């Protein structure tokens, strides 16, 4: 029984991975050159932007809830009989 070494073949997946790896490297280099080192997007930067966006949405939601409550109270006050209304001023 002879032991032959497996032949190293380049398959389609190997070529695809190589091309993808090179493409990522090129995109990374181009981004660094175009935007600059300090303005490159990072995972930390993306996470912070997401946190800020969540906070902004929460603030908008709270403001909308406050406005709805204010309008509801004003509508309820306008629908009460005149004798129950408090004088203005």
Please report the pLDDT score of residue 61 as a whole number: 96
Q: Is residue 51 part of a domain?
A: yes
Q: Is residue 86 part of a domain?
A: no
pLDDT in tens, 41-71: 788 889 999 999 999 999 999 999 999 999 9
Please report the pLDDT score of residue 2 as a whole number: 53
Q: How many CB atoms lie within 10 A of CB 19?
A: 10
Domain span at residue 36 reads 14-81
pTM to 2 decimals?
0.47
Domain count, the chain: 1
Q: Is residue 87 part of a domain?
A: no
Per DSSP, 85 falls in state S
Q: Is residue 7 part of a domain?
A: no
- Place 89 in a pLDDT band, splitting at 50, 70 and 90: low
Q: Is residue 88 part of a domain?
A: no
Q: Is residue 60 part of a domain?
A: yes
Using the structure block, give the residue that is written with the tokens 């660094």: 32
Query: Pick from 23, 20, 24, 4: which is nearest to 12 by CA?
Result: 20
Interacting residues of 40 by C-beta distance below 8 A, sequence separation 6+: 31, 32
Query: Pick from 54, 29, 51, 48: which is nearest to 40 by CA?
Result: 29
């Amino acid at each position: 029984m002879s032991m032959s070494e497996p032949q190293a073949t380049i398959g389609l997946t190997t070529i695809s991975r190589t091309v993808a790896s090179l493409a990522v490297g090129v995109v990374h280099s181009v981004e660094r050159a175009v935007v600059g080192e300090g303005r490159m997007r990072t995972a930390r930067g993306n996470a912070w932007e997401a946190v800020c966006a969540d906070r902004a949405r929460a603030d908008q939601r709270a403001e909308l809830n406050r406005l709805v409550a204010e309008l509801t109270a004003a509508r309820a006050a306008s629908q009460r009989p005149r004798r129950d209304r408090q004088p203005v001023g």
